[in-house]
Structure formats: structure tokens, C-alpha cells
Structure 1
């Protein structure tokens, strides 16, 4: 690791793991009418979408996302465009993939993807949301708010926390992101962006203590 990618302490790892576990919904994945691959900085999302498509879990896949606001250089033509290309390279047929290249937040990922599916004449009663592991709960809460008439199932690549840290290669960055996503889970219902989610006391205590440790670079200003 470089100086900007310092390891976290064992105690920080323990507290971050509590938040990591909370973010994951542990939904039972089953066949759905369509899937949405939520844009992010992580190519693990389209790779897992391709795996799920090959397993026959959905006939249609929408990739959603414009330029990544925190790392625009990673996917210069937009998240959805790069995700689609990655999935096609992994064997997903062109006709199975729809593109939504404009969303700039999770609510737009879902509402604009809904519009793309409707424009394609695809009726959706069940939708599979595929995201980064620590984004599952926020995606679920957002979808239940903005698309309440469908059944929402959330999933992500099946990685253990330590394996994800190794994959990203920057332990502190991951903790900043975990904390930032939990703040959104807490605050978005107050802004009418998402439904409310119960936060267990130990998870909230871990969140507050990691904030005290300075893991606050991904926080919203509320």
C-alpha cells in the first residue's frame, strides 16, 4: 500500500465489518423480470451481472449511470457505457442489454432505468438490483421509495469483507465509503429519497466511532 492507501487497525476493521454486514440485504436471489446494474467505480458489478445472466436469472439487463462524480477518469464515457462493454465481453448478448447513460444518483438509476424498460415494452413486476456489496441496503431503500409497485431483490458479488478490501486495494477508502453509505441510509428518508431502515445499536455505535476516527470524506452535507 502507498501512503494514501494505509491499512486500517484491527479495531477499525471490526467496526467496519459490522457496517459492511448491515449494508448487505442477504436476499434470496431468484429469477426476475429484469435486472439493473447500478453504476459505480467497480467493474465487479457488470461481471456479476454477466454471471447472473448466464445463470438464467433475468432476460433483460439495464446498465445505468453517467460520469462518476468522484472518479470521472475511471470511466470517461460514463459508467453504463463501460459496464455494458464489460458485460458484452463476458458473453452477454447485445440484445439483452439496455443502456441508461444519464443517471447521476441512485434514485435516477432506478427511475430512469424504469423508463428505459417501459420504453422497450418490458413489463416489470420483479427487479433484481445489482450493486457494490456495501450499496445493497441503500439501493433497496431507494427502490422501495421510487418504484414501490415492484418487488425488489438486491444482490452483489459474493465477497467477504477482507477479500473486498484486497480487491479495492485501499482499506481506508473502503471504510470512508461504508460510513458514507450508512449516513445516506440514515438521512435519505428525511429527504424523502428512500424508505426508513432500522439501524441496530451496535452498527450505529460503529458508525459514530469511525466518524470520530476521521472516516468522513464521503459524507453528505446535511
Structure 2
């Protein structure tokens, strides 16, 4: 019963975070770093479907990217690059940005790299995990305000996504803690100027508080001044 209860609250957060936006063709598929290899898999799918002719992988954090996929930790961008190339994406269709250590830096470091390469991209498909779609979008509204973009993820249901994560040795507990952490960031980051404020319905905030009470608080942001 307890597991069913936290799944109930987690579903509410998942549905809120997974902002649904229709795909549109773009200059580049911009993939933000993650521990979840299915993010790279979805970017490859979008590339092969012809939504953009370039993939940008951004992420400098060095860690295992799904233990079943990478035995030796690499930067997120490098690990995603390996996944894409093994899936048939040409090397010259990929741009690597491997300095970013957080979501804001994914945007700022990628902007700097594109400027250095003199690439005048105007539109992007932002790809992340389902529960980071809304925060990615809210951050892009600040960091990429002059560009056209949509924020998307592989269209998994909550149950499908949890099953996919468990196949990659990413536990349900970790996913739920990440979701509470992302909601906290949506609440506190607008006042820091990191992202645009998003309305958080009362039902979503109550589900968040219940999950915190159950101990799912492993990824809280530092709120110290």
C-alpha cells in the first residue's frame, strides 16, 4: 500500500513536470546532460526522423550513464556521443560541449561554443528526461529567449519511464527524489533569475510535500544565501 501511495504522488509530479509540446523541425537537437541514456536514444530517434540535421550534446559531469551502457565513466556529452555514433549518427552531425555542470551552464556553455564555431542556429529541440522538460523550458525562456525552441522527452508514461530507468540500473527511488528536487528548483530558482516562474497547482505542491515526508528528498538544491 505504501508503494502504491508514493507512486500516486509521484505520478502527479511526473505529469506536471512533463510539459507536452508538439515537435517542430529545428536547426539542432540540443541534448542536455543526464545520467539517463534514454535521453540520448530519443535524440538519435529524432535525428533519424529528420527533425534536425545536427545534434548538440552538452554536459561535462563525469559519471556512469546507465550502468548497462557504459562501464567507464565519461562526461555526459561524451557518453551520449558514443551512444549516438553506435546508433548510426554520423560523427560530423554531432557537436560536443563538455564543460557544463548544471542546466544553466548547458545553455550558457553551448551558446559560447556555437558563437566560437560561428554557427547561426535559430531554433532548437531541447531534449531531457520527462521530469525535467518543464524546468528545461523555464530555463530556456531566460537563457535562450531570442531563439525558437520546444522542450521534449521520449513520450513515456510514468510506469513506462520507471521501467526504462530500472533497466538502466536507475532506481525508482532516485527518479522520485529527482522529481521532488526539480519541483523545489521550479519554486526557488525564479527569484535567483535562473528560470521563468511556472505556476505550480496546489495538488502538485501537496504531492511534493507528501513525498518529502516519505523521505524522497535526495536531490534538494542548496537554499543557503
**Which secondary structure state, in structure 2, belongs to the residue aligned with residue 184 of structure 1?**
helix
In structure 2, how many angstroms separate the alpha carbons of the residues matched to 1:8 and 1:178? 18
Q: Which residue of 2 aligns with 1:111?
A: 108
* Residue correspondence of structure 1 range 9-20 to structure 2 within 5 A: 9-20=3-14
Partner-residue secondary structure (3-state), 1:9: helix
Matched, 1:79 2:76: yes
1:37 maps to 31
CA RMSD of aligned residues (A): 2.0
Gap change, CA 1:205 and 1:13, over 3 Å in 2: same
1:54 matched to 2:51? The reply is no
SS of residue matched to 2:60: coil
CA contact (8 A) 1:27 1:155 kept: yes
1:88 aligns with 2:89: no
Once the two structures are TM-superposed, the CA of residue 128 in structure 1 deviates from its matched residue by: 0.9
Give the one of 123, 134, 137 matched to 1:137: 134
2:144 matches 1:147:
yes
3-state DSSP of counterpart to 1:36? strand
Alignment match, 1:4: none
Give the SS at the match of 1:112: helix
Partner residue, 1:220: 221
How has the CA–CA distance of structure 1 residues 119 and 59 changed in structure 2, closer, same or farther, with 3 Å as cutoff? farther
Taking structure 1 as the reference length, what is the TM-score of the superposition?
A: 0.91
Q: Distance in 1 between matches of 2:66 and 2:160?
A: 25
1:163-217 alpha-carbon deviations (Å, 9 max, x no partner): 1112222222211111111111111111111111000111011011111111111
Match of 1:204 in 2: 205
Mapped contact 1:98–1:116 kept (Cα < 8 A) = no
1:20 is displaced (CA, Å) by 0.3
Does the CA-based 8 Å contact 2:62-2:76 persist in structure 1? yes
State the number of aligned residues.
Answer: 216
Structure 2 residues not aligned, in runs of 5+: none
Deviates most, 162-171 or 176-185: 162-171
1:165 match? 162
- Unaligned 5+ segments in structure 1 are 1-6
- How far has the Cα of 1:117 moved from its partner? 2.2
Distance in 1 separating the partners of 2:66 and 2:48:
30
Compared CA separation, residues 61 and 210, structure 1 to 2 (3 A): same
Q: CA deviation at 1:148?
A: 0.9
CA distance in 2, matches of 1:79, 1:70: 8
Distance 1:47 1:69 in 2: 18
